Amino acid sequence: MSSAIIKPNGIGAAAPRKEDYRFITGNGHYTDDINRPGQAYASFVRSPHAHATIDAIDFTDALAAPGVLAVLTGKDVAADGLGGLICGWLVHSKDGSPMKTGAHPILALSHVRYVGDHVAVVIAETAAQAKDAAELVNVSYGELPSVTAVAEARNPAAPQVHPEAPRNTCFEWELGDKAATEAAFKTAARIISLDIANNRLIPNAMEPRAAIGEYDKGTGIYTLHTTSQNPHVARLVLSAFVGVAPENKLRVIAPDVGGGFGSKIFIYSEETVCVWASKKAGRPVKWVADRSESFVSDAHGRDHQTHAELALDANGKMLALRVKTIANLGAYLQLFSASVPTYLYATLLSGQYDLPAIYCEVDGVLTHTAPVDAYRGAGRPEATYVVERLVETAAREIGMDPAEFRRRNFIRKFPHQTPVIMAYDVGDYEASLNEACRLIDYANFPVRKREAEARGMRRGIGFSAYIEACGIAPSAAVGSLGAGVGLWESAEVRVNPTGSVEVLTGAHSHGQGHETTFAQLVSDRLGIPIENVEIVHGDTDKVQFGMGTYGSRSGAVGMSAIQLALDKIITKARKIAAHVLEAGEGDIVFEDGRFTVAGTDRGMAFAELALQAYMGHKFPTSEIEPGLKETSFYDPTNFTFPAGCHIAEVEIDPGTGTVRVVKFVAVDDFGNIINPMIVEGQVHGGVAQGIGQALLENAVYDPQTGQLLSGSFMDYCMPRADDLPSFDVGVTVTPAPSNPLGVKGCGEAGAIGSPPAIINAITDALGIRDIAMPVTPERAWRAANGL
Amino acid sequence: MYQFEYHRPKSLDEVTALLARCENPKILAGGMTLLATMKQRLAAPSDLIDLQDIAGMTGISVDAKNVAIGAMTPHHDVATSRDVAGAIPALAFLAGRIGDPLVRHRGTIGGSIANNDPSADYPSACLALGATIVTNVREIAADDYFRGMFETALKENEIITRIIFPIPQRAAYQKFPNPASRYAMVGVFVVKGANGVRVAVTGAGPGVFRMTAMEAALAKNFTSAALEGIAAPAEEMLQDMHASSEYRAALIGVMAKRAVAAMLA
Ligand SMILES: Cc1cc2nc3c(=O)[nH]c(=O)nc-3n(C[C@H](O)[C@H](O)[C@H](O)COP(=O)(O)OP(=O)(O)OC[C@H]3O[C@@H](n4cnc5c(N)ncnc54)[C@H](O)[C@@H]3O)c2cc1C
């Protein structure tokens, strides 16, 4: 496919994004742009304490305040028999016992467990009235001591988050062969170990979460507009587990969504309450998070403490890896909380390396902080950080060039079964490493370093040869690991009588550009202009079912489903063409949007055929049904394994500790590429987030009070354009064999690969072994000056 | 945000009358600080009195001795003024490093000085240059005006109308921004003028302050080397999640040396 001629707006073309016109001109339809007749507004009363009992809630004054329609608490939720929020992935501990945690109520009943926890909701005529009245709800709290850091949470004397989870331990999980790993360590010539922290992050999508719940008294149907990455999953959870409404009486619409990064996968209290309260209040109920609410209540990401050891033989060949991680899960498990630090993490610890033995233990720990769940990369950035920090450190300590050390240990034969579940199907790690070295001019780095030194700057270079798993995922495989759902995707291709096409997909675009890339596939396959293709997504009434967008799955899984549906369309169209053109089916050639009889000039355009399909005049409708619409549910046969090499160069001002990323090269193997411009954009965004994690972003809770100290952009430092260099992006290609398009996925690689490259460059510049993320100016200044 | 009344008077007299009449009024300049505080429900004024229509409060005038800037002049105007760049380039440089373009187009010098955020940039220029803060009732020397964190010599309902900066021989400002807020984590304004050498520091302490030890050393020997070994008292510096007091104290030294070096370049 990569060698084929690229059609205008076809596969491989840098087609401009179809959706950008409406976004850039302010004509998008985000949830807050939608207003329903008679709409009222919700404001949540949130816990100001990290841990407390709720002794009493007095809302007399709030109820009497202007415009207030209702004040609802956890008691009302319980009285209506609603269930709590769920974790959709069950993890077991080493001893075979299932993970332990307490219930996750929609509105807190007896206790609050983190600052921002939901205590009550006020519904009023206007948003301002709802907020004013929420301040009048008088909650009597019995303050309790809290614990926010994993290091203290397992102390027997530490405050308990849930009585169901003694010592705040949700699970003590393991993966890999412990005995083989121990044995390999015994034979090692060198053991390199590191203690590594993966800092806690707050997603900060540009559009905050929002919801409108609505109840139709006539039909008994609820409609929820919400900022979701997976509206069907939201409907499933809200109906089957929370029990707000039966699935057939609940329509979920996720309109334009302004970024998710994982945080909009999950089903939260707020949208649940909007649906439920719309019937109670007899009015549509809207809620839009303000930025301060987003900080405290969106699911956070990362937050690992890890001890890792790598065993080497005398020739610098890797023998085994041993990892012990403590993962902060927050106060409640969110939808995928249990899977992120386990199956999405430890399964990638082999990196790009031929590692005969790996053993990993992960303890999932509950604390009085916001729930922690998937955030761009979800487990794979944490794994990559462990592996690539350790590998770079090992190379330095045995005195080998870090590129050479990696080459010596790369996996070179495929398929390759790692010791941690994953079977890598294809890759060429040396190709991306070499290309990255070429782009950054690795050979001349010493010259640049000397030149920087002459200016009083300390310059360093750092590698990261990452691998990740995308295209999640084969349903049976994830089912055997504890997932509560299958991870296939669906597509429906509807050809209209005029030959234009609607594609209904279960994937959801919230910045990825599906409306363009999916349309490119259709345009390429059917030979019709891209303008004639409409991508429909995000509405459970339109799209039959879908698992949504996360884990860089929409290309490999979502587009593959479209590809299969297109196959069916073409197969049927060919049959119809044979009748219309009065030829044998085997003689019909479909090329560039035309059906022709081979070796003749008889033919018809795709649009003419579409019309014939709907007229049904010229083919036997007893054999071939009229119409042209096909559906496919595609389940992948394997994960895909994007991999690549990032190299960073930094300069550090030892006087102030300022770290500047002066060069950044990313060479990625994403398999076949549908739209190189969109792919490059995804890499830029991902790398920006990775540099954000390495240098700027940090979610900090006060250890005494459990208050979120980094609760606004004044203190939580998001990367800005002037924090970043101009990226140098390259590609290498090994098509993925596990899906019909040969694509792998590109949405998260930037955030996965970049943090260790930055930290490796900083430790190189300063000649130190380790430094904690984010490398604030003060941290770099202390390290540079030996303080 | 709570409910409030909005007023847009045309004269200072009207402003004073409104201030006297309203229950809990607040003056509104660029709103960059005040509106954010109100949105977070940390301030609940009954009335906002917007100064933007008041004649004579916006604009820059420069004569042989002074640069006078109207209180309602936005940072952008100061940053891009040729007159300011000619007379006190360090002042234009400082204004151009406040916040982002949006903030620089809305935020005003009067609002900044009235608010006296310990991390704001302008207070260091006022103190180092020996500015005069002119209000609707009096003139206050910068030395008497800044009283620590968010505290000033302004009386209730007193309105800043202008700030007058004497033109020095030379001046330089060096700012080390907080990576998140981009306010000054440490900002050092160094001036050499008729009144000798003045060094004012913002961001590091609970309010803008002068480094008199540095001033004395520079008066004797105006080189960065003269500042070697002169440290700010770490125990008096601010400490937060971004920077320890020790680090802030060290940054004062680095920024001061760089400012002096820039003045000698
Ligand atoms: C994102 C962001 C980044 C920023 N970064 C920086 C930075 O890097 N450096 C920096 O120095 N500042 C920074 N600021 C602050 C900004 O520069 C404004 O100067 C500051 O917010 C106050 O000016 P204002 O005109 O907006 O005043 P307002 O917000 O309108 O008023 C502030 C206070 O001053 C009072 N007031 C206003 N004018 C007068 C007057 N003439 N007389 C008496 N009282 C008055 C008001 O009543 C109010 O109490 C930043 C602000 C934001 C929002």
Tokens for A160, please give them. 């308990």
CB atoms within 10 A of CB A110: 9
Q: Is A778 on the interface with B (CB under 8 A)?
A: yes
The 3-state DSSP class for residue B101 equals: helix
Residues of B in contact with A772 (CB under 8 A): none
Peptide bond preceding A381: is omega within 30 degrees of 0, i.e. cis? no
- A429-470 pLDDT tens trace: 999 999 999 999 999 999 999 999 999 999 999 999 999 999
Q: Do B242 and A782 touch (CB under 8 A)?
A: no
The 3-state DSSP class for residue A497 equals: coil
Instruction: Judge contact between A231 and A251, C-beta under 8 A.
Output: no
CB atoms within 10 A of CB A537: 25
Give the separation between CA A708 and CA A702, rounded to whole angstroms.
6
Cα–Cα distances in angstroms (integers) from residue A186 to residues A308, A313, A320, A394, in the given order: 16, 11, 10, 17
Whether A183 has a pLDDT exceeding 70, the answer reads: yes
Of A131, A290, A714, the CB nearest to B180: A714
Give the separation between CA B88 and CA B76, rounded to whole angstroms.
15
The share of chain B scoring above pLDDT 70, in percent, equals: 100
Instruction: Please give the average per-residue pLDDT across B79-105, as a whole number.
Output: 98
Residue by residue, DSSP assigns A397-418 as HTT--HHHHHHHHB--SSSEE-
The phi, psi pair for A222, rounded to 5°, reads: -95, 145
Residue A193: closest CA among A363, A352, A381, A323: A323
Fold adopted by B5-50: 3.30.43
- A626-658 pLDDT tens trace: 999 999 999 999 999 999 999 999 999 999 999
The 3-state DSSP class for residue A78 equals: helix
Angle, CA A321 vertex, CA A334 and CA A405 arms, to 5°? 120
The phi, psi pair for A613, rounded to 5°, reads: -60, -40
Tokens for A254, please give them. 């996720």
Instruction: Please give the average per-residue pLDDT across A715-734, as a whole number.
Output: 97
The residue written with tokens 């890999």 in the block is: A176
Instruction: Judge contact between A89 and A482, C-beta under 8 A.
Output: yes
Residue by residue, DSSP assigns A658-674 as -EEEEEEEEEEE-BS-S
> What interhelical angle do A606-615 and A560-580 show, nearest 10?
70
Cα–Cα distances in angstroms (integers) from residue A739 to residues A5, A627, A669, A682, A745, in the given order: 21, 28, 15, 21, 11
Closest Cα to atom 32 of ligand 1: B111
- A276-293 pLDDT tens trace: 999 999 999 999 999 999
The 3-state DSSP class for residue A448 equals: helix
Residue by residue, DSSP assigns B7-73 as E--SSHHHHHHHHHHSSSEEEESS-TTHHHHHHTTS---SEEEE-TT-TTSS-EEE-SSEEEEETT-
Q: Do B1 and A715 touch (CB under 8 A)?
A: no
Give the separation between CA A332 and CA A720, rounded to whole angstroms.
32
Q: Is B181 on the interface with A (CB under 8 A)?
A: yes
Give the separation between CA A786 and CA A769, rounded to whole angstroms.
12
Residues of A in contact with B39 (CB under 8 A): 290
Atom of ligand 1 nearest to the CA of B109: 19
Q: Is B244 exposed, middle or buried (0-12, 13-18, 19+ CB in 10 A)?
A: middle
Residues of B in contact with A652 (CB under 8 A): none
Give the separation between CA A36 and CA A45, rounded to whole angstroms.
24
pLDDT band at A5 (very low <50, low <70, confident <90, very high): confident
The 3-state DSSP class for residue A590 equals: strand
Give the minimum alpha-carbon distance from B74 to chain A in angstroms, rounded to a whole number: 21
Cα–Cα distances in angstroms (integers) from residue A190 to residues A178, A416, B55, in the given order: 19, 25, 77
> What interhelical angle do A749-766 and A380-397 show, nearest 10?
30
- A584-619 pLDDT tens trace: 999 999 999 999 999 999 999 999 999 999 999 999
- A746-784 pLDDT tens trace: 999 999 999 999 999 999 999 999 999 999 999 999 999
Instruction: Judge contact between A362 and A161, C-beta under 8 A.
Output: no
For the entire predicted model, the pTM comes to 0.97
pLDDT at A2: 43
Q: Is A655 on the interface with B (CB under 8 A)?
A: yes
Fold adopted by B60-264: 3.30.465
pLDDT band at A400 (very low <50, low <70, confident <90, very high): very high
pLDDT band at B104 (very low <50, low <70, confident <90, very high): very high
pLDDT band at B64 (very low <50, low <70, confident <90, very high): very high
Q: Is A721 on the interface with B (CB under 8 A)?
A: no
Q: Is A398 on the interface with B (CB under 8 A)?
A: no
Q: For ligand 1, which residues put their CB under 6 angstroms from it? A: B 26-34, 36, 71, 75, 98-99, 103, 106-108, 110-112, 114-115, 120-122, 159-160, 182-183
Mean pLDDT of chain A: 97
Give the separation between CA A508 and CA A535, rounded to whole angstroms.
10
Where exactly are the structural domains of chain B?
5-50, 60-264
pLDDT band at B194 (very low <50, low <70, confident <90, very high): confident
Tokens for B112, please give them. 């900044």
Cα(B28) to centroid(ligand 1), Å: 9
Give the separation between CA A531 and CA A500, rounded to whole angstroms.
9
Instruction: Please give the average per-residue pLDDT across A703-731, as a whole number.
Output: 97
Give the separation between CA A498 and CA A628, rounded to whole angstroms.
11
CB atoms within 10 A of CB A247: 14
B30 HSE (CA, 13 A, CB side): 23
Whether A1 has a pLDDT exceeding 70, the answer reads: no
Q: Is A772 on the interface with B (CB under 8 A)?
A: no
Give the separation between CA B83 and CA B62, rounded to whole angstroms.
7
Residue A150: closest CA among A325, A333, A332, A359: A325
- Which residue segments constitute the domains of chain A, with CATH numbers given? 20-28+489-634 (3.30.365.10), 38-144+206-259+264-297 (3.90.1170.50), 146-198+300-418 (3.30.365.10), 425-487+635-787 (3.30.365.10)
Q: Which of B7, B40, B103 has the most ligand 1 atoms within 8 A of CB, as the residue to mutate?
A: B103
The 3-state DSSP class for residue A207 equals: coil
Q: Identify the sign of the CA torsion A700, A704, A706, A712.
A: negative
Q: Do B2 and A717 touch (CB under 8 A)?
A: no
This complex has an ipTM of: 0.96
Q: Do A656 and B176 touch (CB under 8 A)?
A: yes
pLDDT at B1: 87
B157 HSE (CA, 13 A, CB side): 15
pLDDT band at A4 (very low <50, low <70, confident <90, very high): low
Tokens for A21, please give them. 């016109």
Residue type at A36 in one-letter notation: R
Mutation pick from A717, A724, A773, A787 vs chain B, by most beta carbons of B within 10 Å, is: A717
Q: Do A700 and B241 touch (CB under 8 A)?
A: yes
Q: Is B42 on the interface with A (CB under 8 A)?
A: no
Task: Tally DSSP H helices, then E strands, for chain A.
Answer: 20, 28
Give the separation between CA A181 and CA A49, rounded to whole angstroms.
44
Q: Is B256 on the interface with A (CB under 8 A)?
A: no
Q: Do domains B5-50 and B60-264 have the same CATH topology?
A: no
Cα(B26) to centroid(ligand 1), Å: 13
The DSSP H or E segment spanning A272 is helix A269-281
Cα(A714) to centroid(ligand 1), Å: 15
Give the separation between CA A11 and CA A674, rounded to whole angstroms.
5
CB atoms within 10 A of CB A453: 11
